[in-house]
Structure 1
Amino acid sequence: MLGASIIIPNLHSPVLGNVLAALRRQTVPPLEVLVIGQDRYGVAAAAPDIRFIETPHPTPPALARNIGVVYARGVVCCFLDADCVPAATWLERLLAQQQQGRPVVSGSIAIGVPGESFWQRCDNIASLGWFLATAPAGERHFLSTANLALRRDVLHHVGLFNEQYRFPASEDTDLSLRLRSHGYPLYFAADATVYHRTQRTTPARIWRHIWLHGHQWIPLREQHGHMFGVPYWQRLARRVPLLARLLIPLVALRDMYDLYSPQPTLLRRFSRTMPVVYWARWAGYVGQLDYLKEQRAQL
């Protein structure tokens, strides 16, 4: 089995102890676990089996992951968020895909687990809905670095995380696009599951989260324009922003169809979340319009 370095960016996660305990229960143990960032609870520093790389200031996820890669010794780098508690077979399932010749593999987010609040569930669906355990396995256009394994040589080939993305929203999409441009397929393994204990437990926090995704989406598209065209709504957002704002309910409805139609279990078991998820999807488009408004103000 391939040796794996688990790399965890951390900024005072209250569930880091649960994450580290779950890593000790893996059916295939990792080669090492590295925690990078700050930890006011002292969990990482007190763990003798954890390498804690403390940073002097709060560190964006992209930079923290890059620091982890520099110190990593494993053939495979597994990126895990500090609020994602892995199932016992998580690493075994990711490495099994690696051994089948898939150099870039993302796992899934469990949904409907004990202790998950309604608002946590809504945030997971709105932001990570295409990577839920209810979603079909297979190739994806993008992957999430909350739960991702890739060979270290592949990462060095395409370049490390882009540190210009200082907020946790688009650095994983940027990496996904660079991987695809170098010919690496992106595979989603639904059976490599983590439990995402998000701290976004209020409507305001959920809105802010999805808004940030949208706010960084346009510069991301501009940087990787050769990878895809510009959708009609984004062209409209530049030319007639008021009309684009009025059309947000329709484009968010399209998102809902794309999200729920391939996941009948999600639709059947968690239909109560749909109004909130629909509302949250609006936030991404508002974020794009706000970004364009800021750009116009600078001209």
Structure 2
Amino acid sequence: MPIKIPDSLPATAVLESENIFVMTEFRAMHQDIRPLNVLILNLMPTKIVTETQLLRKLSNTPLQVKVEFLQTASYTPQHVDSNHMETFYTTFDQVKDRWFDGMIITGAPLDNVAYEDVDYWEELCTIMEWSKEHVHCTMHVCWGAYAGLYYHYGIQKCDLDKKLSGVYENQVKKASSPLFRGFDDVFFAPHSRAMGVSEEDVLAVPQLELIASSEEAGVTIVKSRDSSHFFVTCHLEYDRNTLALEYERDVQRGLNPEVPVNYFPDDDPSKTPVVNWRSAGQLMFSNWLNYYVYQTTPYDLKGTVL
């Protein structure tokens, strides 16, 4: 089945060029099936790139998925055309009385900013509190994962001595988890951050399970025991060139960044990176949609306390 998104969304042409089945709203309305309603709170400055990356991962599934994009009202994005935001994004006031099967809260380049100093922190807390009753299952990614662990469970972040950037080996800690259906025992994933959380702090919270970690990169994936929240610190949605573009950006800013680990062949930025995380990323998002959203969400969401 296809993913259902607005016809004129920039990601549509990209996905169709990759032979991904994108359904028009007209055709979707004439199918006798309820799509999964997924809300994406996109906090990344690269809105269109992030939209395309996430939609690509959510599309390769037999489920019909209707995706909507959410922006914060308390902060105006600086790196995307306002017409794009007005056309394709909604605000919390417009969705607060609705219910969703799934939600994704993305990362944001806020590693060195205290949570309470983030311009939209109060609004984000309101949205995360709302999600407890209005979203069946929420996936928090990178900075969104750390913000979620802090808000829901009081787990403090720790600043790293230097930015963690590269493709790292991660170990599956709970092979029986449906999230890892089809995974190898070890999987590779891009990490790009200057913060982390202590494994001991995660394990000290009875409501949480550490289900994947990395010897080099630390905590990778955490879930709540009731499966209503997933916290993913890596970027399995990243494209081949995402880390390269981040590296080039930091070079141009004069930050003298280290070459991303295990990414460029021979650690040579002039060489094309080899992707070794694509299948794990596809499996993770598909398994999340299937086992933690579709299989357990109520058919009639309206007015249902999840």
For the criterion TM > 0.5, the same-fold answer is no
Which structure has more helix as a fraction of its residues? 1
TM tier, smaller: 0.3 to 0.5
- Could you tell me the TM-score, scaled by structure 2's length? 0.32
- Could you tell me the TM-score, scaled by structure 1's length? 0.33
Pick 1 or 2: higher relative contact order, CA cutoff 8 A, min separation 6.
Answer: 1
